[in-house]
Each structure stands twice: as C-alpha cells, then as structure tokens.
Structure 1
Amino acid sequence: MTEAVGNQPQYDVFADEYLHHAQAGLFNAHYDRPACLGLLGDVEGATILDAACGPGLYARELASRGAQVIGFDQSPRMVELAQQRVPMGTFRIHDLAHPLDWLDDHAVDRVLFALALEYVDDRIAALREFRRVLRPDGVLVLSRLHPTGDWLRHGGSYFQPRVIDETWSRGWQLRYWLTPLEQTCDELHQAGFLIERLVEPRPDQAAAAIDQDKYDRLHREPTGFLAIRAIPDPRRDASSWSIPRAAVRQARPAVE
C-alpha cells in the first residue's frame, strides 16, 4: 500500500488552541510569518490566495497591508476563525486533493502556502493548480518544515520520502510527509515553477524575549522552517493543465 497522509482535517480538533498558540508564538509570529510576508513583498492592491489559511493570521496581516484575500482550508473550524478575523476576505472549505475549480485561470496575483505542503499527498497536482490560477507575473510563496531538521529528529534515510506520525508537545497528533529538499524543488519544477529565492529564516529579535534558547538555536541550526519564492516558468504553458469543470467535484461554498 502506498503511504499517504489522507484527507482528514487534522487541525480541526485543536483549531482554537492553535489560534491561541500561533498568533503570538515564537515559531509562527516571529519566524515563519515574517519570512513569508517578506518574500511576498508589497501586496497593496494585490489579490492573494491564502492556501491552507488556518485561522487567518497571515490573511489578517495581508489585508492590513491592502491586499484582497481569498482563502481556504481543509478544516471547517479554521475557515470560521479566518472569516471572523478577516471579515473583508472570502474563505471556503476546500481540500487540496481536489482542483481549485472555483477559481479561473490567472485569477490571483500571489499564492501563499505556509506550512502545509507536507500534509498534501499529491503535491505536484496541488502546485499545478497554483500555477494555473496565478497570473503570468505572479508569485508563489511557500514554507515548509526544514528537511534537515526533520531528518535530525527522525533519523533514517534523509533521501527516502516517508509519512511520519508524531505527537507534538501540546498533545496534537499529526501525520505528514517527510521529504528531502531536492524533492520539493523537483515538485516545483514539475508544476511549472522557477525558484527565485530560497530562505532559511532566522527568528526576529522579539523572539529572544519569548525563548532565548530557541532563538539562539534557530540562529545556528537548520532545525525549523525554510521558505521559497517561486514564479511561473514563462517557457511553459499552464493552459494545458486546466481541468475541465464538469470533471471535478463541486467545491463546498464559501463562508459569507
């Protein structure tokens, strides 16, 4: 049997606890969010797809910077929380195992895909959908667990993709893919992207007041996250990747 994460909305059972943890926590507020927002650049007037939007923490910041935000998440509760935090945004329940059939080709200026790549089984298909909905001059920003940190924690072969079942310190039970960096780069290539920048971020200075030991470790060891800014490859035509609307399952409605 092929390993798979599956399509259960894992974060749904602790969505409210996650919001409380992530809105000011070191790893989210002072490490990943600054890195992703920095790679997105000036977003005023831009239409941004916040893929796997979680409770809307990135979306709220993007909206405050003048962006129009469209978001989705597999977790119904996360979608509710995102809509509460960003009432001017449009959010819906959607599973990346299915096409973004509710978005037209070239509908958005940027796609943000923060800390969710490892929960997707068919990552190339999902990335191709991002490529399809991006405008030709658009940008994809994604972040993921740093594969070196994954390998240091779990051992085994760094180069062998595998599914990990893990219980995090708060008792959250999660299942996700552990993959080498070269696989992420190759999946982006197969989906029609060119990598413009790859960043191994360090936490901002405010993180030191939260946990000096973690702050110091993340400044010297590749044990946290990494972030990538990718652009559509102009040499490759995304139109052939558009999926006939009649051939896909109807997406669940947006939360108004």
Structure 2
Amino acid sequence: MADTNSTNESMGRKAYSEFAKRYAEIAPTKPHNALYERPTTMALLECVNGLRVLDAGCGPGICSEHLAARGATVHAFDVTPEMVELARTRCAGLPVEVVEGDLSAPLSWLPDQSFDKILCSLAFDYVEDLQPVLEEFRRVSRPGATLVFSMAHPMRDWMDDRTRGETTYFDTSRFGFYWSGFGEPKPYVEAYRRPLSDILNGLTTSGWSLDRFVEPRPLMEMRETSERLYAELSRAPAFICIRARC
C-alpha cells in the first residue's frame, strides 16, 4: 500500500479534491489536454504492449485507460482520494491497479526495478523539489526503462503576471489562480514554477539521460474547437514534454 503520510499537506490534493468529478468529465476532450499535451506525451512513450507501466499522478485514470487499451499492465497512483476512486471506476475490468500515493513522498510501496516505462503527466507542477521523486523513479525502473513527463513551460509561466510572482526567473516560486474551463465555482489551483535548468539538471543528477525535449504544438483539430486557442498555442508553447532513459 502507498505511504500517504504527507498527503494532508499536498498542494495537488487540496486543489483537485474540489473539482475532481468535473475534471474527470471535462479533461478527456478539453483542447489543452486532448488536442495538445496528451497526444504529445503519449507519443513519447512509444509502444507499451506487454510492458509494465507506472502512471504517477494518474488523476482520474485517463492515461491509464489508454495505456491498458494499448496492451500495458498499469500501476497507477494519485494523491487525491477522489481521483483514485474515479480512476478505479474508469479502469474497471482493465489491467490497471490504482492506489493512493504522493509524489512528494518516498514511493516505498513500489519495489526496485519493477517498471519498463513511467508516465507522469502534468503532475510535477505540484511538487516543490523534483529530484527526490526523479530518484525514486530511477529506483523503480528496470534497466533501459523510459520516463516520460509533462509540465507547465517555465518560461510561459514566467511571462504570465499571474504566475511570475515577486521572485526572479531562477527561483522556484509558488503561485495560484482560479482556473477557467472546468465549470463553476472556478477551482483555485496552486502550483510551482521553476527554471528549466532545475528540471533538466535534476533529471540528469538523478541518473536519467535526456532523450527528447518537446515544446508541443496543437493538433490541427483544435482549430475547429477554438481558433483563438489554436493560434495562441501555435505561437508559443504552454507545456514541455520530456523523455528520458536509464
């Protein structure tokens, strides 16, 4: 079972418990997710058929469901109990195990060298110090394993008055604002912004080798949904998607 001693202090749990059901209903088709970040992240994972995959920070199990449909055996975890229940419901009948666990704490329930691939989609933004969890991912990875993760683009957040804060670009800063696009009442979500060098250097210091760095572009289908959003994301990226190998 997951060690959840630190979940009461989790930034992600505090935010997502307020609108977990709405997120689970909207995120599968929301353009930022379905037509932008998720296709890029899942493509970086490449073939998962017959492999054991860790879905870390799985949310309502959207990616876990996709991975299982592609032939993977999935172990998933999330810090928010409501998300864990939603993921279990979504993935019922599939080779997916979902437990409660915190990226900010040791992944003590996971044995060494137990996964072929690790996915962490849009969850690192709620973790202040990435290196410990990157080291934990390295520990539970089999030789030659792949890690794929996505997160907010640090320069995009630096350029936004709502997220920049009063610190310099080179500091890790905490910010929060009300999200639109997930119904009312608008959820207040806090996250961390950090320099790109901290992300990449933390990755390599933890024993991973950077393989691919992607600043995604929206799929053409987004134009039909929102010409404004398509134009905005075609000019500058909102996320980064990274693949590393051990």
Q: Which TM-score applies when normalising by structure 2?
A: 0.89
The Cα shift of 1:160 comes to 2.1
Pairwise mapping of residues 66-145 of structure 1 onto structure 2 (< 5 A)? Answer: 66-87=71-92, 88=94, 89-145=96-152
Deviation at 1:102, TM superposition (A): 1.4
What percentage of residue pairs aligned between the two structures are identical? 38
1:208 aligns with 2:223: yes
1:162 lines up with 2:162 in the alignment: no
Give the deviation of 1:158 after TM superposition: 2.0
Task: Structure 1: give runs of 5+ residues left out of the alignment.
Answer: 233-256
Does residue 1:38 correspond to 2:43, yes or no? yes
Deviations 1:83-121 (A, max 9, x none): 111122100001122211111111010000010111012
Question: Which stretches of structure 1, 4 residues or longer, exceed 6 Å deviation after superposition?
Answer: none
Query: What corresponds to 1:228 in structure 2?
Result: 242
Helix, strand or coil for the counterpart of 2:19? helix
- Is 1:63–2:68 an aligned residue pair? yes
State how far apart, in whole Å, the 2-side matches of 1:21 and 1:187 are. Answer: 33
Question: Can you give the 5+ residue segments of structure 2 that lack an aligned partner in the other structure?
Answer: 1-7
1:48 to partner: Cα distance? 0.5
Let me know the Cα RMSD of the aligned residues: 1.4
Does 1:7 pair with 2:7? no
> What is the number of residues matched between the two proteins?
227
1:6 & 1:118 partners in 2: Cα distance? Answer: 15
User: Offset at 1:6?
Assistant: 4.1
Question: What residue number does 1:254 align with?
Answer: none
The DSSP-based 3-state class of the residue aligned with 1:30 is: helix
Compute the displacement of 1:166 (Å): 1.7
Task: Name the residue aligned to 2:205.
Answer: 190
**TM superposition shift of 1:205:** 1.5
Shift of 1:122: 2.8
Separation of aligned partners in 1, 2:236 and 2:106: 37
For 2:188 and 2:9, the matched residues in 1 are separated by 14
**Structure-2 separation of matches of 1:26 and 1:193:** 31
